Amino acid sequence: MAGDHQVRHDERVTHVSDQPAAQHAEGFLWGGRFAGGPADAMFALSVSTHFDWRLALDDLDGSIAHAAALHRAGLLTDEDHEAMVAALQQLRADVARGAVTADPGDEDVHGALERLLIERVGPQLGGRLRAGRSRNDQIATLIRRWLRREIRLLTLDVLGVVEALRDQANAHLGAIMPGRTHMQTAQPVLLSHQLLAHAWPLLRDIARLQDLDKRAAVSPYGSAALAGTSLGLDPELVATDLGFDSSVPNSIDGTAARDVIVEASYVLAQVGVDLSRLSEDVIIWVTPEFGFAKLDDAWSTGSSIMPQKKNP
């Protein structure tokens, strides 16, 4: 069949059409030389709104900063800039309260929000927001901005655990308990010493999170697809508008680098390991065999068949 490809696997034959069953023009940020839309299977593969919609507010903040950059470069009049920012701010408020979301025909969060903007202000004004910006520098910037915010929230949570350990240690300065190796009694230790054995690694985790934030505080905005644009947009001002310390020194690295995500994954895994160690001590201490601590009912669960159980 013309336009079809035959794929043979384990004696089974599947026909994969390269012809689009439907057009997906809405919510797409690319087109140009293409006469038709992607095949349905290709479209389904490329859709990412089910996980990147969480970047919607950051995307809109980036669009507001980008509109300001276009205005500073003389590419938006005062009137157009005011109208565009007003529409973006209203769209941001609607997204924040859950009044609008992506449609099934949207490829990603960027296309969905641009479609929603154009529906409100029309293509003549809304379409101009795309000037001088690529999804490449857009997503690289948004990931760093979102990640920095989440890192800071996590840092506060971890600090809260450290403070709780400190408070418990101060409240039991003279309490002695058996220290164990291989779960066998080894040496007497202070309870405060044991508790703070969990505080110190968490403090190192906080230092890692803060160090990661420094490397994530560089904005890729202005890199465009890979080598910037000739529109005279100032990436340093946009970086400041979005809360970054500076813009990236190399545009190709700015759009291509994802090591900040890998680094965050390691730090988050280490936080999880350190919290798991603390949790395991608590789990052991609240058993009847040890009886070193009691958990409030608010932090316990029960059994569906054994009413005497109180599980941490």
- Annotated catalytic sites, by residue? 182, 303
Q: Is 22 exposed, middle or buried (0-12, 13-18, 19+ CB in 10 A)?
A: exposed
Cα separation of 278 and 61, whole Å?
Answer: 39
Q: What secondary structure letter does DSSP report for 289? A: T
Structural element, H or E, at residue 85: helix 78-96
Structural element, H or E, at residue 4: strand 4-9
What is the residue-wise DSSP string for 176-195?
EEEEEETTEEEEEEEHHHHH
Cα separation of 282 and 274, whole Å?
Answer: 13
Structural element, H or E, at residue 247: strand 246-247
Strand pairing category for 246-247 and 218-219: parallel
Backbone angles phi, psi at 50, to 5 degrees: -70, -15
Cα separation of 104 and 50, whole Å?
Answer: 10
